[in-house]
Structure 1
Amino acid sequence: MARDGFHDVLFPHAVALGAAGGPTRRTDIAATASGGEVRRARWAGSRRSWRIALGGLSQPESAELLTFFEAREGQRYAFAFRDPFDHSSNPSGGAPTPLDATLGTEDGTQTEFVFAKSYGSTSRVIDLVDPASLQVAVDGVALDPGAFSLDTDRRSITLVDPPAEGEEVTAGFLFDTPVRFASDSLELSLGARGAAVPSIELVEVRL
Structure 2
Amino acid sequence: MTGFHEVRFPLRLALGTSGGPVRRTDIVNLSNGRENRNARWRNARRVYDAGSGVRSIADLYEVLEFFEARMGELYGFRFRDPLDWKSCGPTGNVSADDQWIGTGDGVQRTFQLIKTYGDNGGEARRTIAKPVAGTVRVSVDGEEISSDRFTLQAATGTVTFEATHVPPEGAEIRAGYEFDVPVRFDTDRIDVNLSAFNAGRIPAIPIKEILP
> Normalised by the size of structure 1, how large is the TM-score?
0.93
Offset of residue 54 of structure 1? 3.0
Offset of residue 60 of structure 1? 3.0
Q: Compared with structure 1, are the counterparts of its residues 115 and 93 closer, same or farther at alpha carbon in structure 2 (3 Å cutoff)?
A: farther
Bigger drift between 91-100 and 128-137 goes to: 91-100
> Aligned runs of 1:28-177 on 2, under 5 Å?
28-54=26-52, 57-91=55-89, 94-120=92-118, 121-160=123-162, 161-177=165-181
Q: Quote the residue 1:195 is aligned against.
A: 200
Runs of 4+ in 1 over 3 A off after TM superposition: none
Q: Compared with structure 1, are the counterparts of its residues 4 and 157 closer, same or farther at alpha carbon in structure 2 (3 Å cutoff)?
A: same
Contact 1:82 1:177 in 2 (8 A): yes
* Separation in structure 2 between the aligned mates of residue 148 and residue 182 of structure 1, nearest angstrom: 36
Contact 2:79 2:182 in 1 (8 A): yes
Residue by residue over 1:163-196, the C-alpha shift from the partner in whole angstroms, topping out at 9 and shown as x without a partner, is: 2211101000000001111110111222235121
Q: Compared with structure 1, are the counterparts of its residues 146 and 56 closer, same or farther at alpha carbon in structure 2 (3 Å cutoff)?
A: closer
Offset of residue 199 of structure 1? 1.1
Report the secondary structure of 1:54's partner residue: helix
More strand by share: 1
Unaligned runs of 5+ in 2: none
Residue by residue over 1:115-151, the C-alpha shift from the partner in whole angstroms, topping out at 9 and shown as x without a partner, is: 1000111100011001121100000000111011102
Report the secondary structure of 1:66's partner residue: helix
Bigger drift between 154-163 and 173-182 goes to: 154-163
Q: Give, as a single letter, the amino acid of the residue that structure 1 aligns with 2:185.
A: F
> Aligned runs of 1:15-26 on 2, under 5 Å?
15-26=13-24
How many pairs does the alignment contain? 205
Contact 2:130 2:154 in 1 (8 A): no
Offset of residue 38 of structure 1? 0.5
Query: Identity over aligned residues, as a percent?
Result: 39
* Separation in structure 1 between the aligned mates of residue 74 and residue 90 of structure 2, nearest angstrom: 34
Unaligned runs of 5+ in 1: none
Contact 1:55 1:194 in 2 (8 A): no
Q: Give, as a single letter, the amino acid of the residue that structure 2 aligns with 1:84.
A: P
Is 2:209 aligned against 1:185?
A: no
Q: Give, as a single letter, the amino acid of the residue that structure 2 aligns with 1:199.
A: A
Offset of residue 76 of structure 1? 0.6
Bigger drift between 114-123 and 191-200 goes to: 191-200
Q: Compared with structure 1, are the counterparts of its residues 84 and 152 closer, same or farther at alpha carbon in structure 2 (3 Å cutoff)?
A: closer
Q: Give, as a single letter, the amino acid of the residue that structure 2 aligns with 1:186.
A: I
Q: Give, as a single letter, the amino acid of the residue that structure 1 aligns with 2:34.
A: G
Q: Give, as a single letter, the amino acid of the residue that structure 2 aligns with 1:201.
A: P
RMSD over equivalenced CA pairs, Å: 1.5
Q: Compared with structure 1, are the counterparts of its residues 6 and 139 closer, same or farther at alpha carbon in structure 2 (3 Å cutoff)?
A: same
Report the secondary structure of 2:74's partner residue: coil
